[in-house]
Copies of this chain bind each other. A is one copy, B any other.
Amino acid sequence: MVNQQKDTEQKIMNAAKDVFQQKGMTGARMQEIADKAGINKALLHYYYRTKEKLFEKVFEMAFSIFIPKMQEIMLSEKPVFEKIEFFIENYMNLLTKHPYIPGFVINELNRNPQILVNIFEKNVQIKENKLFEKFDNQVQAEVQMGIIKPIDTKNLMTNIIGLIVFPIVARPIIQGIMFENDKKQYDAFLKQRKDFVIDFIINSIKA
């Protein structure tokens, strides 16, 4: 039955996502993924022939979660300030739902930067629509118009994403040192940061 098939495939993907994102490619065990999916290990290899192939699927899905919203916001007709506000708001919410993904992606890309090239080759549209260039043009246009202080867009983007992502990937160390490992306190910290980061960025660039 097709439903059974889809179900098994889904159970595998969910289990694989959990295990790979928590333990990384080298730390993940096929047996653990099979157990978590409630199936035989041989069935894992029946659906995804190798660990490598299963990992690639998981990585692609993790990576692609953050693409559509980015495109939607960046390609909209809003002015820069609004785009930045939407971007920060949306991505911080997205990260609350998927806190393991950024660390997972960053770590695996450090292990093997080639993965990114493969993803771009498979999924041309991501690279092709040149999101960054478009945003850069808009920023520099608003700089000319005197709305924004002169700023390099690459530095600006790095700042925005860094301020969003860093507290998530470095959570264990920040929570440990500055919050005495208090989980609830850190969750509250992350929550208040949404408005804080927006104000921080906007204030820093408005003319």
Q: Are B27 and A172 in contact (CB under 8 A)?
A: no
Using CB atoms, name the residue of chain B closest to A165: B166
Which residues from chain B contact A134 at a C-beta distance below 8 Å?
A: none
Copies in the complex: 2
The number of chain A residues touching the other chain, given as a range, is: 35 or more
Q: Which of A2-10, A36-44, A100-108 contacts B (4 or more CB under 8 A)?
A: A100-108
Given contacts A26-B23, A132-B178, contact A109 B152 (CB under 8 A): no
What distance in Å separates the Cβ of A180 from its nearest Cβ neighbour in chain B?
10
Q: Are A170 and B176 in contact (CB under 8 A)?
A: no
| CB of A203 within 8 Å of the partner chain | yes
Interface of A is mostly: helix
Given contacts A172-B113, A178-B132, contact A155 B103 (CB under 8 A): no
| CB of A116 within 8 Å of the partner chain | yes
What distance in Å separates the Cβ of A67 from its nearest Cβ neighbour in chain B?
11
Q: Are B189 and A154 in contact (CB under 8 A)?
A: yes
Complex Cα spacing A189 to B156, Å: 12
Q: What does the 1/0 interface line of A165-195 toward B look like (CB < 8 Å)?
A: 1110111111011110100000001000100
Q: What does the 1/0 interface line of A76-107 toward B look like (CB < 8 Å)?
A: 00000000000000000000000010010111
Complex Cα spacing A25 to B107, Å: 12
Q: Are A154 and B178 in contact (CB under 8 A)?
A: yes
Using CB atoms, name the residue of chain B closest to A107: B107
Q: Are B27 and A173 in contact (CB under 8 A)?
A: no
Which residues from chain B contact A154 at a C-beta distance below 8 Å?
A: 178-179, 189
Partner of A162 from B25, B155, B167 at Cβ < 8 Å: B167
Q: List 9 A-B contacts (CB under 8 A).
A: A26-B27, A106-B170, A106-B172, A110-B169, A113-B176, A117-B176, A166-B166, A203-B204, A204-B204
